[in-house]
Amino acid sequence: MADSPTQSPVQPLARPVSEALEARLGEAVPVLDHGFVRVVDYMGDDAAIVQAARVSYGAGTKTLRDDAGLIRYLMRHRHSTPFEMCEIKLHVKLPIFVARQWIRHRTANVNEISARYSILDREYYLPAPEHLAAQSRKNRQGRGDLLEGEEAAEALRILREDAERSFSSYEHLLAENDDSRQGLARELARMNLPLNAYTQWYWKTDLYNLLHFLSLRADPHAQYEIRAYAEAILGLVKLWTPVAAQAFEDYRLDARSFSGPAMAVLRRMLAGEAVTQAGSGMSPGEWREFEAMLKAP
């Protein structure tokens, strides 16, 4: 009788693993009232950035201190390709109007749920009272003072009633539970949905382009709703590539870039001169931004 074949033991997958992020795979991080971000998969870690920068084989080439120093140098001098060696795939649930802002970042692979095939749940975004604000009088795309009292209550009531009415009409047009009618095609019924309805997508990008996204959307001047997603993602990046994340915060997110005229004004100020906008060579708008950067924490 022939010997039975022996089965080789299963070998562990030989790939870089971020233990902190590995523990969070598939976990939904809540954002807004019904949204979330969760990591589906990722590739690479801090060591992958270093390895690509040194074009060497193997995970460790120098000390951890040297590796951190290199990553910080790469971030400081805006070298991009080593950070492109890391990739991440996210599953995101977000309001449609936030998705339309988000999709302007064209450096990712995106696959969004289609309401041609799926019936969307009756879920829509309503701002919390602390995020109900009037239009800014200085910034055409920003918020001003908070709405209060009856005006705030009316705004929330209108947003809720309009969303409920739109979803009721959507469900009526579909006629999914009414055998007496054919119902309107899903691809047509969806046109009646409000912009605060929730959609979902898979979003895959590399670390360099993700950090560019975060530099814009985690900025205090970004719209609150997309900033909430950016801050949730930044928390995941800190688990995934902690050294790169710290360098990003130090040299990009918390840093300020001054123009040539602004640098000239700074030199004059450091020399003890009192400089005003009129004598600065900057426009009123540039001067306001310059003053805001000087006052920023």
In angstroms, what CA-CA distances link 93 with 31, 124, 255? 9, 11, 30
Backbone dihedral angles phi then psi of residue 135, each to the nearest 5 degrees? -70, 135
Give one DSSP letter per residue of 172-199, joined into a string: HHHTTT-TT-----HHHHGGG--TTBEE
Distance from C-alpha of 127 to C-alpha of 147, rounded to nearest angstrom: 12
What is the maximal distance between C-alpha atoms in the chain?
100
Report in angstroms the alpha-carbon separations of 244 from 21, 31, 49, 78, 81.
14, 24, 9, 12, 13
Helices 284-295 and 260-270, packing angle to 10 deg: 60
217 is catalytic: yes
Given 186, 190, 217, 227, the catalytic residue: 217
The set of catalytic residues is 217
